[in-house]
Structure 1
């Protein structure tokens, strides 16, 4: 019994064009060519594995030479008129030369001598070139049929001499229909879900599907059940995928980790599970769309299940999940601990913020942003006692009566802070403050912080020159927020200084005459760090009221810019003229040269001395160091 058994792939190999599944565009073309007697001398059948390329070549050879159905397809090679060659094992130029000798011999019976060359892309370049002339000018009795899964490896000169037909993958539904017919003939009991598992596992190849069916029959017998089939083929079942997404939906980390542990114990391949999970989430997204369920390759019961589960996720959530899983599928190939990374992916999906939660958070932030510019009113203010309201009205009336004359109003506006403190809550009664002695009206409205009057010799650009960044806190022991207040306090409390005679400053030579006294003032009144940096700067140029200095480090530049106002005031004490100091960084080339290695110095010498470069090139001189 075992000796007479033939695999399903061999038993149910198509014998006619009508038996070939899902390749009607090729079958109809070849049948019409035979009817009209317009048979080409060379054909190229291209497509993925297991879709019927070699089978189509045998059917064409049978139809052209009118071979009867009693001759098996595999026995066609035994006839004198049909020669079948495997290019994977006969790929050398000697094999092609031997084939050319056979081509010369006319057919013993029949109309044509047909040469079927399978996996033709495996031929060497020399073998292809040896076949070119025969393809271009073949004998009238010869027909070549090439089959390949990789047409891009075939020489373009070969492709231009043949008629090319591209075979397509067979759909899941077509494979299921073909398997049903075979199971009916073989009296095999199998459910719809199991047929879909085999069809999806075959990945568009009917030959692979028949091989998987043989494997399932060997494991389960003639009564194939879904659970046993999953165990036999070691494939990921739909129940496991739905359990995985169920743990994500419920945000149950314990269930997710337990599921992964069970998968590992069953020997599931993580990469295969991630591929199935990617397709599973893709199907959920399609089910969420609602009107594209024909794109999902599953049974009607599974499609309904997809629709139910998809209601728990939004489209944005499914897209994010799809992105995470596909990214993990790519990265998981190269990691040393794939299980740990698989568990990390599960935890990411479980703890991922849902789009609905993110939408609420964004809405709250937008609402907060809208209300940021509006003062928040106290809702309890509407229930004020009448007595407190009258007190506030009396206070406002008193403030209006004490309004100063217009002449003093401007001083009050200048001295008044920009942000007034908020009114005290009327629910808290302020403590009585002892009344101060009455002052004259003018004195009462002018005893605020005084604004210093500009000096007569002060030019209009004084404010612009003194503009700089806030002073660094570590230099003066103060923060950048209160530094200006201390300076203004010192200016207000300082005694009137003696007027310094203005110096005539036309260029850097005039600046240099006053530079040493200026440095002495800096040394006495400024931090020592600033003084030492000022000793290192160089005078570069004087452009109007701006003095250009140069330093060899970025720190000196920043330090001078931070203390711009102080330096300008010190310089005015010495010269009577306000000068804004701008410091730029200029690297010291000599110091940079000192840091060069001996080999780099040797190269620099060669660039400067052409004679030395000539000696090095002629004699191959090298530096010994």
Structure 2
């Protein structure tokens, strides 16, 4: 480094059009105008700070007057042919009158007399009006160059008399390339990640980047390390942001609070951290699409890291996080306790449920809504009521089913008092008084079984996994059916072959199972809950292979329910096939029209259906926050 210190912004100010970074559209136009001798009498350079407006004006003045490169840009004002004026401090009418007097004097040497007015928007309205006539019809040797960051404040009458050029922000890659060249010239050792930190901190202004580079050199010396640079510039590094997103991914609130406390103890500004986190989430959102990775302003190593981390979050989740952070930046400005508000915001991100989980929950609720026709809401006294709608065939079957006397309780077997009006019917032909009628015993036994089933289902009822029929209840029903078969047997005692035994095939094929499937589903009624029966009706028979029956259902909820009851369902199917087929249950692909909607699509659908919610959204601007 040189022994005589000079700021990098002054030392490396461009002296030619080729040195100016990222403003080729202006440089090429002016160079062509010089070659063709078509220079305008007035130019206006507009753009953000530090992008080269004043530098471009000085290079133009140097080029058209052929001033030697040994005279730097700051010394140009000392020549008689170039006049620089700061409109921020010389904005009165008298200052413009002095400028008009200077315009009359021709150049002492050279061809043109150039007037550079910086921050021209600071001139008063009277000063602008005083300049109008001179600006419209200046002498042939006079050229005006105005520079401003706020062209909208300049009078339209002034804008109509100049050629306007809009300067653009300098990209991060161009700033990094320029800083890398300067670091080599200055013999400064700096890593690529640090160059990107300085370039992003400069926000498109090369002058700011050179100032930050000067600050880093003063803090770190000839060797600039990444950690020291972050400390010198008080910038939140990407490592800290990736570490926080790990906390969000793992829902680790304790670790997140510890990280927040460390950041605040190290003196990081809350707003600066939220700005950095916003950019970090934006980069993660973009990293989902590999083809759009060029939009991420970072080193190649950091881009790869963004790609790896982006897979942990969906784009919907990242959008919701960006919305939370944006809202927090507004609220923090007026918050009486900024730290508490800051911690609440970051804890929202950590505890936020993922879109996939919300979609699964909505899909499960929608499925439950479709299949919950047998259930009603709790009654006013708080007890859960179940609405049973038996089919007509079931009612007739219940009346005709006999009871298994061996398993009836003593209470059911006690003689029942006869109705006086039916005494004559109750007495047998031999004059003896028999016990209860056969049909009465059947009805009482069936009622007892149904009561037991209802009690156990009510005790075990749960929305996530509806209670199914118990083993005891199934045994009771089986005994009732067994007794029924005994009583319907022929009087001569000869065994009767059931229809299922007569029709049993020699080999169970897929076609056979498909033929008896409807009959099999009908047999499930009464023996199994209606919810399970509905799910079985929506299940498809795929094939029979190697003693396995391959079934396909349309959702994971149904798959779980059928897996839990597969043993009972298999034995029930044995009555039709003669042998047990193991169930192999899978979930088929869902059509696009049947796929569950996202949280936001569901919210839009609710708005369309409910006019009250739609009015709330329109009036108050309601949004899904997290």
Report the TM-score range of the alignment, normalised by the length of the smaller protein: 0.5 to 0.7
The structure-2 alpha-carbon separation of the partners of 1:428 and 1:87, relative to structure 1 and needing over 3 Å to count, comes to: farther
Task: Please report how far the alpha carbon of residue 4 of structure 1 lies from its aligned counterpart in structure 2 after TM superposition.
Answer: 3.0
| Partner secondary structure for residue 39 of structure 1 | coil
Task: Please report how far the alpha carbon of residue 288 of structure 1 lies from its aligned counterpart in structure 2 after TM superposition.
Answer: 1.8
- Which whole-Å CA distance do the structure 1 matches of 2:86 and 2:280 have between them? 40
Aligned to 2:419: 436
Aligned to 2:153: 153
- Which whole-Å CA distance do the structure 2 matches of 1:168 and 1:54 have between them? 14
Task: Please report how far the alpha carbon of residue 32 of structure 1 lies from its aligned counterpart in structure 2 after TM superposition.
Answer: 0.2
TM-score normalized with structure 1 length: 0.62
- Which whole-Å CA distance do the structure 1 matches of 2:360 and 2:197 have between them? 41
Task: Please report how far the alpha carbon of residue 67 of structure 1 lies from its aligned counterpart in structure 2 after TM superposition.
Answer: 1.0
| Partner secondary structure for residue 272 of structure 1 | helix
- What does 1:435-584 correspond to in 2, within 5 Å? 435-438=418-421
Task: Please report how far the alpha carbon of residue 230 of structure 1 lies from its aligned counterpart in structure 2 after TM superposition.
Answer: 0.5
Task: Please report how far the alpha carbon of residue 307 of structure 1 lies from its aligned counterpart in structure 2 after TM superposition.
Answer: 1.1
Task: Please report how far the alpha carbon of residue 64 of structure 1 lies from its aligned counterpart in structure 2 after TM superposition.
Answer: 0.9
> Is 1:86 equivalent to 2:90 in the alignment?
no
- Which whole-Å CA distance do the structure 2 matches of 1:101 and 1:239 have between them? 60
Aligned to 1:500: none
- What does 1:288-303 correspond to in 2, within 5 Å? 288-303=288-303
| Partner secondary structure for residue 431 of structure 1 | helix
- Which whole-Å CA distance do the structure 2 matches of 1:428 and 1:171 have between them? 88
Aligned to 1:358: 358
| CA displacement 1:418-473 (0-9 Å, x = unmatched) | xxxxxxxxx98793654434479xxxxxxxxxxxxxxxxxxxxxxxxxxxxxxxxx
The structure-2 alpha-carbon separation of the partners of 1:341 and 1:390, relative to structure 1 and needing over 3 Å to count, comes to: closer
Aligned to 1:539: none
Aligned to 1:236: 236
Task: Please report how far the alpha carbon of residue 84 of structure 1 lies from its aligned counterpart in structure 2 after TM superposition.
Answer: 0.5
- Which whole-Å CA distance do the structure 1 matches of 2:328 and 2:66 have between them? 55
| CA displacement 1:281-332 (0-9 Å, x = unmatched) | 1111111233211010001111111111111111111111111111111111
The structure-2 alpha-carbon separation of the partners of 1:268 and 1:371, relative to structure 1 and needing over 3 Å to count, comes to: same
The structure-2 alpha-carbon separation of the partners of 1:374 and 1:291, relative to structure 1 and needing over 3 Å to count, comes to: farther
| Partner secondary structure for residue 9 of structure 2 | helix
Q: Give the root-mean-square deviation of aligned CA atoms.
A: 2.5
- What does 1:105-144 correspond to in 2, within 5 Å? 105-144=105-144
Larger Rg: 1
- Which whole-Å CA distance do the structure 2 matches of 1:188 and 1:287 have between them? 32
Task: Please report how far the alpha carbon of residue 22 of structure 1 lies from its aligned counterpart in structure 2 after TM superposition.
Answer: 0.2
- Which whole-Å CA distance do the structure 2 matches of 1:390 and 1:4 have between them? 104
- Which whole-Å CA distance do the structure 1 matches of 2:304 and 2:138 have between them? 58
Q: Which runs of 4+ in 1 moved over 6 A?
A: 389-392, 427-430
Aligned to 2:277: 277
Aligned to 1:536: none
Aligned to 2:459: none
The structure-2 alpha-carbon separation of the partners of 1:435 and 1:161, relative to structure 1 and needing over 3 Å to count, comes to: farther
The structure-2 alpha-carbon separation of the partners of 1:96 and 1:373, relative to structure 1 and needing over 3 Å to count, comes to: same
The structure-2 alpha-carbon separation of the partners of 1:373 and 1:136, relative to structure 1 and needing over 3 Å to count, comes to: same
> Is 1:395 equivalent to 2:399 in the alignment?
yes
Aligned to 1:225: 225
| Partner secondary structure for residue 164 of structure 1 | strand
| CA displacement 1:546-576 (0-9 Å, x = unmatched) | xxxxxxxxxxxxxxxxxxxxxxxxxxxxxxx
Number of equivalenced pairs: 402
| Partner secondary structure for residue 143 of structure 2 | strand
| Partner secondary structure for residue 412 of structure 2 | coil
TM-score normalized with structure 2 length: 0.62
- Which whole-Å CA distance do the structure 2 matches of 1:127 and 1:24 have between them? 33
> Is 1:11 equivalent to 2:11 in the alignment?
yes
